[in-house]
Amino acid sequence: MSLVFDEYGNPFIVIRDQQAKERLRGIEAHRSHILAAKTISNIMKSSLGPKGMDKMMVSQDGEVLVTNDGATILENMQVDNQIAKLMVQLSKSQDDEIGDGTTGVVVLAGSLLEQAEQLIEKGIHPCRIYEGYETACKIATEHLKTISDSIEFSKDNIEPLIKTAMTCLGSKIVNRFHRQMSEIAVKAVISVADLERKDVNLENIKLEGKEGGKLEDTQLVKGIIIDKGISHPQMPKIIKDAKICLLTCPFEPPKPKTKNSIEITKAEDFKVLGEIEQKYFTDMVEKVKATGANLVICQWGFDDEANHLLLQNNLPAVRWVGGLDLEKIAMATGGRIVARFEDVSADKLGRAGLVREVGFGTTQDRYLSIEDCPNTNAVTIFVRGGNKMIVEEAKRSIHDALCVTRNLIRDNRVIYGGGSSEISCGLKISAMADDIASIEQYAVRAFADALDAIPLALAENSGLPSIESLSTVKAMQIKEKNPRLGIDCNHRDTNDMKAQHVFDTLPGKTQQFLLANQVVKMILKIDDIIKMGPGAD
């Protein structure tokens, strides 16, 4: 746009490139973005639940990622459409706040929009629709509270937490070992949690992974781990009550910095030189030992001769440790990193209850685990798996389990999964809809119908006849007045999700409803899309 003046000095605005703008208005706009949102939600639908499928994402440079996690799928999908981007954001918000339920929230939002589309076609104004949705969402979240159960747990009784984390891992690649994985996740959270204050800092749980080995080899280390081993195979592999000297300077006799040449004419001179160097190095070792250190962790390398001398002098060492790792160790052990060898002293040593090198059977792989550090209660989950894709997906799944456990510590209320809570909320909303006299009644009912998308998708993904399963369970819920009945995805011959130990957290489910409703409202409020063409201001 530009402001110009005519010959009489009157201003007028020239709008350039009007033709470069694309514009969709009213019902066309609604149709277009509902379609975009539905497309995204349809992609996600088949990933929902314990029998959900995984997606393989191939990046532009050919890197492959296999995942079942909604947020990860969407994050890696290249979407151009703005509305589709909103759905990606939706899943991310659920991930940030709750950490689980990222697929469900998108499926729900897609279904709400699908219902809204039908109402718009009937001529109901979008604003009446989202007002109705708002009412229904309120009913649903209130109802969730009434059907929730609280689970009791303590530091010594973590079984209920493990069961809940297992539900969340049941749909992931790790499900063959989901008992073991959820035990690891729950133990990790418990060890960093403050149960009195109901507070968990997940930053204190590090997730590290290395390909090789099996998923069962995944383990919880009560400390930090470094991807390095002790420098000599004959040095002790377990150091109790470790006092660690952290060096960023080379641990070897100094080399002349400028170019000097030493001329050696006799064999004796060469021997003498060798002895002087050796003495220099043994003095260095003595100096470190004199501070009381029983382990040296060094950012630099030292050659094989130095390594041998360290072994002879009983000073285990680790070499080539990265700068970041060294800082991590320093923080955890309370040590100070020494940059000049002259500064080595007793007060700069880091402490740890136990340092050990852990190897993996016959492979060369090993890592150093530094446990019982004074300055941190950080723990590390060390994930193993056949290849990088599996390790990465296992890390994502464990992250979900960690989040679920953290949520339970903050709020110990759970609701039952398998679509049971959605069916129960749907029934409640439908019953309440009859009392609403205005046109909103349609929207409220539509919300109830939209909730069916979750049990329908769960049934479909498990190879069950979806509509038939849903109507059977619905009828059973009404007849038995039991809100715990859901879709029997694992064919266990019972629809009672309490008996199957399928739990979702109450805050997680509530958040799913609220976020989905919020984004749907936002999308329904847009009735004009103006796309600037290239060159338009």
Q: Which of 54, 69, 95, 488 is catalytic?
A: 69
Stretch that binds ligand ADP, among 96-104, 189-197, 277-285, 326-334 (CB under 6 A): 96-104
Stretch that binds ligand ADP, among 99-107, 176-184, 268-276, 378-386 (CB under 6 A): 99-107
Query: Under 8 Å CB-to-CB from 430, ≥6 apart: which residues?
Result: 445, 448
Residue from 52, 99, 126, 223 binding ligand ADP (CB under 6 A) = 52
Whether the CB-CB separation of 47 and 35 falls below 8 Å is answered with: no
Tokens of 381: 């989950």
Residues 431-460 that bind ligand ADP (CB under 6 A): 454, 458
Q: How far is the CB of 525 from ligand ADP (least distance, A)?
A: 26
Cβ proximity to ligand ADP: between 252 and 392 the closer is 392
Cβ proximity to ligand ADP: between 178 and 348 the closer is 178
Look-up: residue for tokens 């492979």? 363
Residue from 296, 487, 506, 519 binding ligand ADP (CB under 6 A) = 487
**Per CB under 6 A, does 50 bind ligand ADP?**
yes
Active site annotation includes 102:
yes
Active site annotation includes 405:
no
Q: How far is the CB of 53 from ligand ADP (least distance, A)?
A: 10
Cβ proximity to ligand ADP: between 100 and 325 the closer is 100
Residue 356 parent element (H or E): strand 350-359
In this structure, is the dihedral angle defined by the CA atoms of residues 476, 480, 482 and 488, taken in order, positive or negative? negative
- The angle subtended at Cα 185 by Cα 182 and Cα 191, nearest 5°, is 135
**Per CB under 6 A, does 482 bind ligand ADP?**
no
CA distance 176 to 191: 25
3-class state of residue 312 by DSSP: helix
Residue from 171, 369, 407, 424 binding ligand ADP (CB under 6 A) = 171
Q: How far is the CB of 104 from ligand ADP (least distance, A)?
A: 3
CA distance 25 to 262: 85
Active site annotation includes 69:
yes
Which residues are 356's β-sheet partners? Answer: 238, 369
Query: Under 8 Å CB-to-CB from 315, ≥6 apart: which residues?
Result: 285, 288, 289, 293, 294, 295, 296
Q: Which of 100, 400, 488, 504 is catalytic?
A: 400
Look-up: residue for tokens 């340092």? 355
Q: How far is the CB of 418 from ligand ADP (least distance, A)?
A: 3
Look-up: residue for tokens 């550090």? 373
CA distance 387 to 382: 14
Binding site for ligand ADP (CB under 6 A): 47-50, 52, 68, 70, 100-104, 167, 170-171, 417-418, 454, 458, 486-487, 489-490, 500, 502, 504
As annotated, the active-site residues are: 69, 102-103, 400
